[in-house]
Amino acid sequence: MTIRVVVADDQALVRGGFRLIIDARDDLEVVGEAADGQHAVRLVGELRPDVVLMDVRMPVMDGIDATRAIVASGSAARVLVVTTFDLDEHVLTALRAGASGFLLKDIRPAELAEAVRVVARGDALLAPTVTRRMLDRFAHTTTPPAPAALACLSPREREVLTLIGQALSNSEIARGLHLSEATVKSHVSAVLRKLGLRDRVQAVVAAYDHGLVEPRRG
């Protein structure tokens, strides 16, 4: 099956470059381009793509509001936020809005293609070191929600969510807790289901939002 992609960026050169990279792969195809967020939302409704490469800063409607609108519409399309800077303060907001991950614009062609495949199959794109730096800098420290917010989780599931929030992979969590990867995967699935989260990226944000992980200072 061919993975259908919409590219949303206000720079024609960037859109063209992404199209060349994606269309060069037999299993990927760009089915539409948008120069602003509003157009991107409309194209997603019309074309029903599998993945949207979404720039953050665009005219008319920015990538954050466009992501929020796409997710709210119930679309199955997965949004990959594309940003110039790995510490862009808008990226966390986009993740909260329902994006499945983010890419840097200097990503290598093969990495871009693989990122599209990763989110198309329902996984989240988490580059641990970059994600950790971004969240540590821009996660907002708010009053933690009432304990009841996590009451649906077992103690082990809560522990797993905390480790997800530290951007650890399933294998790293398994080693740390002395569990099998299959068991960790089961716990991760339970956490996502019980908290109503779409994917692992949303779980990272949730761990911060619930005060399980706090951003480092300085």
Q: What is the DSSP string of 71-87?
A: HHTT--PEEEEEESSTT
pLDDT digits (tens, 9 = 90+) for 147-169: 567 889 999 999 999 998 877 88
| Half-sphere exposure in the Cβ direction for 183 (13 Å, CA) | 12
- Is residue 215 predicted with pLDDT exceeding 90? no
| pTM summary value | 0.74
pLDDT score recorded for residue 104: 80
**DSSP output for 17-42:** HHHHHHHTSTTEEEEEEESSHHHHHH
d(CA 158, CA 172): 16
pLDDT digits (tens, 9 = 90+) for 78-132: 999 888 765 556 667 777 788 888 888 888 899 899 989 988 987 767 655 555 6
Q: Are 77 and 6 in contact (CB under 8 A)?
A: yes
